[in-house]
Chain A
Amino acid sequence: MKILIDNAEVECKEGDLLIEVMLKNALEIPHFCYQEDLGADGNCRMCMVEIKGQKRPQIACNTFVKENLEVSTISENIKEVKRSILELELLNHPVDCAICDQAGECKLQDYYMDFGLYDSHLSTPKTKKGKHIDLGSNVMLDQERCVLCTRCVRFTSNITKTNELGIIGRGDNSRVAVAPGHELNNPYAMNVVELCPVGALTSKDFRFKQRVWFLDSTKSICHGCSRGCNIYIDYNETKYSAEKVHRFRARRNNKINKSFLCDYGRLSYKELNENFNADVSHVKDLKELLKDEKKLALVSPSMSLQQLQAVKSFCKDNSVELFSLPYIDENFGDEWLKTNDMSANFNGVKELGINYDEDEFGVSLQEAHVVINFDHKYLKNRELKSKKVVHFTTSHVDSDYELIFVIADFAHDSGTIINCDGIRQDFYATKYESQNSRLVDILEELK
């Protein structure tokens, strides 16, 4: 079935939500309260459209498409409606964009440029509300910047079902708040910062660190556990400092994480910024060691399929016994996104037929003379007496070793991983050249 939106035919199904049809077709429709994974609430009134045959403008987030629907988003009347509602949204807003972290990715700013562009008419005092309120879990609230879209409230009531946030007060005195003596406290709390379309909720971890227009983004996959939540890595390199990752943001994937991330995963970007020093060894020294008979390798189950494959070939060519062990934490998982298996690609390990039997690994480890560790956490901080240990690592190693090769982490190396549900996903390297070589390249050199 087809409907007409601004005189152009758009394909859709009877009963589809108009705003979803428009967003799917990349048609511009301003909105605050509607969010793909939280649904519509109908309170912001920004998504008003004109529908032929209807006297009053209607909200697209509560209009279901049917045969012969004709929608206008550009008539003079509807433009005026949008302008007037935006004016009301911004009426008591402090307009402190210059010091607001949301600036640059703020819907109020975007819509003002699209539909506003009026001078302020305000001749009466603005309504004052609470500023820099620490809600807990790294989330800061500025009630004056809030547009009361209730995305954050609906997230805690409908998604996490923890109900920490609510609206108190009436009319222009309405504001988001936690109950007295309580705080925002759940393992997914920081999602509210990302859900907030304006600068009302900001992250203590990110605020005042970067202007968002100085950031580059790369599509990636969180490596915090086996769920494989889709993320954007936001990073940059400035004139006086090396490349730095500033945050992870959720990248919507309807099959996996929707628009959400757990706080653990969201903050795991910090590992990518850890600086450590190591005098990188020479490949020829490793070749020397490979002449020994009893060799064992342990590969991290968070490595990409490409890396695992390269390691597997390397081990085969050099008669090295290869193992991988999953990272299991029985206390980490929950019924939603977090899984007890904290390795990003253990399903990849299985697919490539790499041995993950812990007992067999223990026996082989005792007998081995040379141990090659491919970035597995288990061996990084473990002293192996009377063995020659070689590390291929992305992070600091706290034990004695014979040789060390620093390799590019997942933000600097693209690849493919398979999540806990068997979904195969690609992630990409950031655009700046890494100081460290890619594992695959080093192994290639060894051939």
Chain B
Amino acid sequence: MITKIVSKNFEIPDSHLIDVALANGRYSSLKSVFEKEPQELIDIIKQSGLRGKGGGGAATGNKWQIVSDWDGVKYVVVNADESEPGTFKDRRILSLDPHLLIEGIIATCYAVSSNISYIYVRGEYEEFSDVLQGAIDEAYEKNFLGVGAKYRVDITIHRGAGAYICGEKSALLESLEGNRGHPRLKPHSPEPEFYFNEPTLVNNVETIASVPFIIENGADAYRAYGTEKSPGTLLFGISGNVNKPGVYEAEFGISMLEFIEKVGGGVKKGKKLKAVIPGGASTPILPYEMLKDARLDYENLSALGSALGTGGMIVLGEDASMVKALKNLLRFYHHESCGQCTPCREGTSWSDKILDRFVAKKATTEDLEILKSVSNSMNGKTICVFAPAASGVIDGFLKHFEAEFLECIV
């Protein structure tokens, strides 16, 4: 079930050191990169069908094209603000194979004609950030980066201050510019992101780390994995009530239940599977009954009323209290709402507080109605998708497990 493309070097000791990395194929794709014109690289990425691996799953090649076509000084920003509960894949790349990321950044910068890259690392990832900085320093010494390089790229790490919302690309750029991490209003027509008003590409760590393989082996080699619409592989995370939590790379389109059973080692203590949050906290929960044919790709999970998201599965066994699980998630949204838009600022706090009444088994029928109406107020009325995600989470729990909530009503 496991396919290793991005995670190929993860188990090699000291793979974060440049000598080990070089001995294991890192930076080998640069030869094919520089043989090609930037536009050829963009075309290869388009053909490969590579989709953004930060949760949204947008076509990477199109994003590159827009930035490439836009006039101005171009920036490549790597989104390493991995803070989605249940998601812990990018940290593996940062700490176990940072040179793969650097190699990908060089290729990406060359493709979109940028010389400057920032890696926005989640504030809490201090140790991973230090490993990454070590790798960047080594890459400068070996002239993969900086003035001595064949194509000049400078990489700077920027560590966030611990806000989940800074993983939203426009909030990330606001934060990178030194402002409060508030998402920006969405544009009315396709355009790149902007860093200090200059066209900027924002890609997830894993997306960039997938680039060297595609360039070196061609789009078809990548398409050999996964499904037609979701080609390639993803670093799937699995956590919760499972025997072998961790990050495992696999093709898109594999069976979810099989993955949980074979790779995740099944539910702890031989208990029954109750539900799965398929791709990070923000994807609606799916009960076991709906998972029989569930496949780990964007289309299949979307058809089931959820989403693949980051691929970070949270597994809940039969003993899990859905009321407490929702409380846990809503506390997170309450804590992390940036506070910019009214529905989110007040809605995340209100729904979290109402859940306290359910957890205490002191809720009323009206509380349940309020929870539903607050969820509705948060959906589709804000600048970014944070509130709609929280709304989807509430709706998912109420849709599939309303009985457990009714039990908490006095």
- Report A's interface with B, CB cutoff 8 A: 40, 42-46, 48, 55-57, 62, 64, 81, 84-85, 87-89, 91-92, 121, 123-125, 127, 147-148, 166-167, 169-174
Whether a CB of chain A sits under 8 angstroms from the CB of B227 is no
Contact between A43 and B380 (Cβ–Cβ < 8 Å)? no
Question: Contacts of B382 on A, CB cut-off 8 Å?
Answer: 45
Total cross-chain contacts (CB, 8 A): 100
Given contacts A88-B346, A172-B334, contact A57 B380 (CB under 8 A): yes
Contact between A62 and B185 (Cβ–Cβ < 8 Å)? yes
Question: Contacts of B343 on A, CB cut-off 8 Å?
Answer: 45, 84-85, 88
Question: Contacts of B381 on A, CB cut-off 8 Å?
Answer: 45, 48, 56-57, 81, 85
The smallest C-beta distance from A365 to any residue of chain B, in angstroms, reads 59
Whether a CB of chain A sits under 8 angstroms from the CB of B255 is no
Contact between B339 and A148 (Cβ–Cβ < 8 Å)? yes
> Which single member of A43, A55, A92 contacts B340 (CB below 8 Å)?
A43
Contact between B339 and A170 (Cβ–Cβ < 8 Å)? yes
Whether a CB of chain A sits under 8 angstroms from the CB of B95 is no
The smallest C-beta distance from B120 to any residue of chain A, in angstroms, reads 18
Nearest residue, chain A, Cβ from B353: A124
Given contacts A45-B341, A85-B343, A171-B339, 7 further A-B pairs with CB under 8 A are A40-B185, A44-B341, A57-B380, A84-B376, A85-B381, A170-B339, A171-B345
Question: Contacts of A121 on B, CB cut-off 8 Å?
Answer: 366, 370
Given contacts A56-B381, A124-B354, contact A167 B339 (CB under 8 A): yes
Whether a CB of chain A sits under 8 angstroms from the CB of B324 is no
Contact between B346 and A170 (Cβ–Cβ < 8 Å)? no
Q: Identify which of A42, A62, A169 gathers the most chain B CB atoms within 10 Å of its CB.
A: A42
Given contacts A57-B381, A166-B180, A167-B180, contact A42 B185 (CB under 8 A): yes
| Bound-state Cα–Cα, A249 to B338, Å | 34
A-B contact pairs, 5 of them (CB 8 A): A84-B377, A88-B342, A89-B342, A91-B346, A171-B345
| Bound-state Cα–Cα, A43 to B171, Å | 14
Question: Contacts of A124 on B, CB cut-off 8 Å?
Answer: 350, 353-354, 356-357
> Which single member of B188, B341, B349, B356 contacts A64 (CB below 8 Å)?
B188
Main secondary structure of the interface of A (DSSP, over half): loop
Contact between A43 and B364 (Cβ–Cβ < 8 Å)? no
Question: Contacts of B339 on A, CB cut-off 8 Å?
Answer: 148, 167, 169-174
* A-B pairs with lowest CB-CB distance, top 4: A174-B339, A172-B349, A124-B353, A171-B337
Contact between A45 and B346 (Cβ–Cβ < 8 Å)? no
> Which single member of B340, B345, B357 contacts A123 (CB below 8 Å)?
B357
Question: Contacts of A56 on B, CB cut-off 8 Å?
Answer: 380-381
Whether a CB of chain A sits under 8 angstroms from the CB of B336 is yes
Whether a CB of chain A sits under 8 angstroms from the CB of B347 is yes
Question: Contacts of B344 on A, CB cut-off 8 Å?
Answer: 171
Whether a CB of chain A sits under 8 angstroms from the CB of B198 is no
Whether a CB of chain A sits under 8 angstroms from the CB of B335 is yes
| Bound-state Cα–Cα, A48 to B348, Å | 20
Number of interface residues of B (CB under 8 A): 38
| Bound-state Cα–Cα, A360 to B376, Å | 77
Nearest residue, chain A, Cβ from B381: A45
The smallest C-beta distance from A64 to any residue of chain B, in angstroms, reads 7
The smallest C-beta distance from A61 to any residue of chain B, in angstroms, reads 9
Contact between B377 and A88 (Cβ–Cβ < 8 Å)? yes
Question: Contacts of A172 on B, CB cut-off 8 Å?
Answer: 334, 337, 339, 345-346, 348-349
Contact between B348 and A171 (Cβ–Cβ < 8 Å)? yes
Contact between A171 and B335 (Cβ–Cβ < 8 Å)? yes
Interface string of B349-362 (1 = CB under 8 A from A): 11001101100000
| Bound-state Cα–Cα, A174 to B338, Å | 8
Whether a CB of chain A sits under 8 angstroms from the CB of B383 is yes
Question: Contacts of A55 on B, CB cut-off 8 Å?
Answer: 380
> Which single member of A42, A91, A166 contacts B350 (CB below 8 Å)?
A91
Whether a CB of chain A sits under 8 angstroms from the CB of B367 is yes
| Bound-state Cα–Cα, A48 to B339, Å | 18
| Bound-state Cα–Cα, A140 to B157, Å | 41
| Bound-state Cα–Cα, A84 to B380, Å | 13
| Bound-state Cα–Cα, A57 to B356, Å | 31
Whether a CB of chain A sits under 8 angstroms from the CB of B163 is yes
Nearest residue, chain A, Cβ from B383: A42
Given contacts A89-B342, A121-B366, A148-B339, contact A171 B349 (CB under 8 A): yes
Question: Contacts of A171 on B, CB cut-off 8 Å?
Answer: 334-339, 344-345, 348-349
> Which single member of B345, B376, B380 contacts A174 (CB below 8 Å)?
B345
Whether a CB of chain A sits under 8 angstroms from the CB of B373 is yes
The smallest C-beta distance from B179 to any residue of chain A, in angstroms, reads 10
Contact between B336 and A123 (Cβ–Cβ < 8 Å)? no
Nearest residue, chain B, Cβ from A40: B185
Question: Contacts of B335 on A, CB cut-off 8 Å?
Answer: 170-171
Nearest residue, chain A, Cβ from B379: A56
Question: Contacts of A170 on B, CB cut-off 8 Å?
Answer: 163, 165, 335-339
The smallest C-beta distance from A430 to any residue of chain B, in angstroms, reads 39
Question: Contacts of A123 on B, CB cut-off 8 Å?
Answer: 354, 357, 364, 366-367, 370
Contact between B180 and A89 (Cβ–Cβ < 8 Å)? no
Nearest residue, chain A, Cβ from B340: A43
| Bound-state Cα–Cα, A121 to B364, Å | 12
Question: Contacts of A125 on B, CB cut-off 8 Å?
Answer: 353
Nearest residue, chain A, Cβ from B370: A121
Nearest residue, chain B, Cβ from A171: B337
Question: Contacts of B188 on A, CB cut-off 8 Å?
Answer: 64
Contact between A45 and B367 (Cβ–Cβ < 8 Å)? no
Question: Contacts of B180 on A, CB cut-off 8 Å?
Answer: 166-167
Interface string of B324-338 (1 = CB under 8 A from A): 000000000011111
Question: Contacts of A92 on B, CB cut-off 8 Å?
Answer: 346, 349
| Bound-state Cα–Cα, A173 to B344, Å | 12
| Bound-state Cα–Cα, A84 to B383, Å | 17
